[in-house]
Amino acid sequence: MNKLFFFIASLLLFSCEKEIEYEGEGKAPVLVLDGILVNHSDPMVKLSRSVFFLSNSSPSNTVISDASVTLTNIDSGTEYVLTSSGNGYYHGSDPITPNTRYRIEASRQGYETISSETTTVNDVVLSAIDSSSIPNQFNRLFFVNYKFTDPQENNFYAVKLSVERENTYYDNSMNVIDIDTTLVSEYINSTDPSYAFGYGETAFFNDYSFNGEYKIFSTQFYNYTYFTQEAEETNRIIGYSATLLNLSEDTYKYFKSIDKNQPFDPFSDPVNTHTNVKNGLGIFGSVSSSIVEL
């Protein structure tokens, strides 16, 4: 009954269309910043312009590659201009320092100058990972635990997992045809109470329930075995590359708002994407990265 109702509701929603001429004024475009500083790495940000929702502009025409972009280390007073490398990207050559205040400013003729400030996060080290698995008839459920010590402050985290697989291909007589290895990013899930949401292949959580403590954050994913008519393809996991990200609060809120803007319910209301950019849109945030391989 519920499926029938949803099917009928979908027909009503998508088949009852009427062209309505928009008579209002479109919003003037503003500069949009995509700038997340990574500790110990050279800064790289991307600049584009906003597009009115009824505009015919394509996303490829929104990049801004001829703006003036400056980055300032507020604590040291050092200021330098980021260099445009085309396609909307701007690079610097001074590695980002943890626990430091930074300010960015971008200007281009025809747009309001935008600016934002952030304090970079401290490094949080992923000390170790371990793994286990449970088999069933068609696949195997794998668990990977992330182990680290949480600093005594409010922290926001994300974890990613790349899996190295050895794939063996057989013919109908079970003779080996080929063996190769691949490194694949997994869509991981978690039943940990601190888990908040997932975006793409990344799981996000916070330290509200374990602030200042040693933490083991457990994730899981399935490894499937595929069968074809001509050959049997089997794969086994031979290694992991696990990443722990410590995010600034603005960065965490930004990804959380993007996740909420992608609902499966066609009747749900849109959510404003989190922004901390003055006179424009976007994110100026910070992240640290720690990687352990197994």
Q: Are residues 131 and 234 in the same domain?
A: yes
Q: Are residues 116 and 209 in the same domain?
A: no
Report pTM.
0.80
Q: Please check whether residue 16 lies inside any domain of the structure.
A: no
What's the CA dihedral at 276, 277, 278, 279 to 10 degrees?
-130
CB-hemisphere CA count at 13 Å for 88?
15
Token couple for 82: 């980021």
Q: Are residues 116 and 131 in the same domain?
A: no
Q: What is the pLDDT of residue 54?
A: 46
Q: Are residues 143 and 193 in the same domain?
A: yes
Q: What is the DSSP code string of 65-123?
A: -S-EEEEEETTTTEEEEPEEEETTEEE-SSPBPSS-EEEEEEE-TTS--EEEEEEPPPP
**Angstrom distance (rounded) from CA 94 to CA 265:** 45
Q: Please check whether residue 72 lies inside any domain of the structure.
A: yes
pLDDT higher than 80, residue 134: yes
Q: Are residues 83 and 173 in the same domain?
A: no
CATH of the domain at 36: 2.60.40
Q: Are residues 174 and 216 in the same domain?
A: yes
Q: Please check whether residue 192 lies inside any domain of the structure.
A: yes
25 pLDDT band, cuts 50/70/90, is very low
Total number of domains constituting the chain: 2
Average pLDDT rounded to a whole number, residues 267-282:
77
Q: Are residues 131 and 238 in the same domain?
A: yes
Q: What is the pLDDT of residues 57-81, one digit of tens each?
A: 555 578 999 999 999 999 999 999 9
Token couple for 127: 């000390």
Q: Are residues 134 and 238 in the same domain?
A: yes
Q: Are residues 107 and 180 in the same domain?
A: no
C-alpha torsion sign, points 19, 20, 26, 32 = negative
Q: What is the DSSP letter of 259?
A: H
Query: Which uninterrupted H or E stretch holds 168?
Result: strand 156-170
> Which domain, by its residues, includes 162?
126-247
Lowest mean pLDDT among 70-74, 125-129, 272-276: 272-276
Q: Are residues 109 and 135 in the same domain?
A: no
Q: What is the pLDDT of residues 234-271, one digit of tens each?
A: 777 888 999 999 999 999 999 998 876 655 444 444 45
